[in-house]
């Protein structure tokens, strides 16, 4: 079983291509399922330039429905990548409630007002202690896990995106956040887009996955495609990494219920 559950659409204003082209790519690669997970609308002007507006959620649902109509025999999941940001939980929950989503990926992209994964703001890393930054990031990710909003935790160690590594051992941070993820019963988005970023590594790293495996935290696969050609990219490497960490199952989602199947 192989699925790509982290796929964007042009509604977020920084992805290109039609939904049918993403699906065609998944079919050409022999994937078993694709799931769209575009950036969710957020309140109060939060990162507005890089996401759909609240009024566009119906259009997003219609795009996924259009893809399903074009490929009726291929499983196409209706997901969303929702930002976790303290104070926005109720708004996000209410905004998503009317939709028959298959899964919600929860991601942390901001610490305070700093969009730390945005290349335009990478200079901020130089003003911070990297270990403290990792602590702050993983603490926020643990709150995301405990929020009850999500089914999957997105690109779990994206804080490493530009290659900043703390001098101190980060395993205690991994253990703490994975304890929260495990307690909440969430899966991890094993996300190959890190290979296309300066860090040149899958999210999350092997050590993180080994701890996750020891806690029985399930996993799913994502490319974070922002163009059709990225669908399923480097999945052989992701499967290798998962195998190295001791995984032989992958999770799929339907109507926000998880099923674990053999990883292939």
From the list Fe ion, Zn ion, none, which binds 189 (C-beta under 5 to 8 Å, kind-based)?
none
Minimum CB–partner distance for residue 223 and Zn ion (Å): 10
Q: Supply φ then ψ for residue 258, to 5 degrees.
A: -95, 140
Stretch that binds Fe ion, among 16-24, 78-86, 132-140, 201-209 (CB under 5 A): 78-86
Stretch that binds Fe ion, among 47-55, 75-83, 206-214, 245-253 (CB under 5 A): 75-83
Residues near Zn ion, by CB under 5 A: 224
81 binds Fe ion (CB under 5 A): yes
CA distances from 67 to 152, 155, 202 (A): 23, 25, 28
Ramachandran sector of residue 259 (left: φ over 0; alpha: ψ -120 to 50; beta: rest): beta
Residue 254: other Cβ atoms inside 10 A: 14
From the list Zn ion, Fe ion, none, which binds 102 (C-beta under 5 to 8 Å, kind-based)?
none
Q: How many residues bind Fe ion (CB under 5 A)?
A: 3
Q: If you search the block for the tokens 């298959």, which residue do you land on?
A: 102
Minimum CB–partner distance for residue 248 and Fe ion (Å): 26
- Give the dihedral sign, CA 176/182/186/190: positive
Give the whole-angstrom CA distance, residue 258 versus residue 54: 27
H or E element in which residue 250 lies: strand 249-254
Minimum CB–partner distance for residue 181 and Fe ion (Å): 16
Stretch that binds Fe ion, among 22-30, 72-80, 219-227, 251-259 (CB under 5 A): 219-227
Structure tokens at 2: 């192989």
Beta carbons of 29 and 7 less than 8 angstroms apart: no
Beta carbons of 100 and 78 less than 8 angstroms apart: yes
Beta carbons of 7 and 225 less than 8 angstroms apart: yes
Minimum CB–partner distance for residue 53 and Fe ion (Å): 18
Q: How many Cα atoms within 13 Å fall on the side-chain side of residue 99? A: 24
Map residues 88-127 to x or -, x wherever contact with Fe ion holds by CB under 5 A.
-------------------x--------------------
- Compare residues 14 and 249 and give the one whose CB is closer to Zn ion: 14
Minimum CB–partner distance for residue 224 and Fe ion (Å): 4
Of the candidates 143, 151, 192, 207, the residue with the CA atom closest to the CA atom of residue 29:
192
Minimum CB–partner distance for residue 168 and Fe ion (Å): 26
From the list Fe ion, Zn ion, none, which binds 223 (C-beta under 5 to 8 Å, kind-based)?
none
Stretch that binds Fe ion, among 81-89, 177-185, 236-244, 255-263 (CB under 5 A): 81-89
Binding site residues, Fe ion, CB under 5 A = 81, 107, 224
């Amino acid at each position: 079983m192989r699925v790509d559950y982290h796929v964007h659409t042009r509604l977020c204003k920084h992805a290109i291509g039609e939904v049918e082209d993403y699906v065609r790519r998944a079919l050409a690669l022999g994937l078993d399922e694709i799931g769209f997970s575009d950036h969710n609308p957020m309140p109060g002007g939060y990162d507005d330039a890089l996401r759909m507006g609240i009024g566009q959620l119906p259009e997003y649902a219609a795009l996924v429905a259009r893809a399903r109509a074009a490929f009726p025999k291929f499983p196409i999941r209706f997901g969303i990548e929702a930002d976790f940001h303290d104070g926005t939980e109720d708004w996000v929950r209410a905004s998503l409630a009317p939709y028959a989503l298959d899964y919600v990926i929860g991601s942390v992209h901001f610490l305070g007002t700093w969009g730390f994964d945005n290349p335009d703001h990478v200079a901020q890393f130089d003003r911070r202690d990297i270990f403290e930054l990792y602590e702050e990031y993983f603490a926020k990710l643990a709150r995301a896990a405990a929020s009850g909003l999500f089914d999957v935790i997105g690109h779990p160690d994206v804080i490493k995106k530009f290659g900043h590594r703390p001098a101190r051992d980060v395993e205690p941070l991994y253990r703490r956040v994975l304890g929260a993820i495990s307690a909440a019963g969430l899966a991890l988005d094993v996300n190959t887009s890190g290979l296309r970023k300066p860090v040149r590594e899958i999210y999350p790293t092997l050590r993180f996955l080994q701890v996750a495996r020891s806690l029985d935290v399930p996993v799913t696969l994502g490319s974070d495609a922002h163009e059709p050609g990225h669908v399923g990219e480097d999945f052989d490497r992701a499967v290798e990494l998962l195998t190295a960490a001791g995984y032989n199952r992958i999770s799929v989602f339907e109507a926000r219920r998880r099923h674990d199947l053999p990883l292939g």
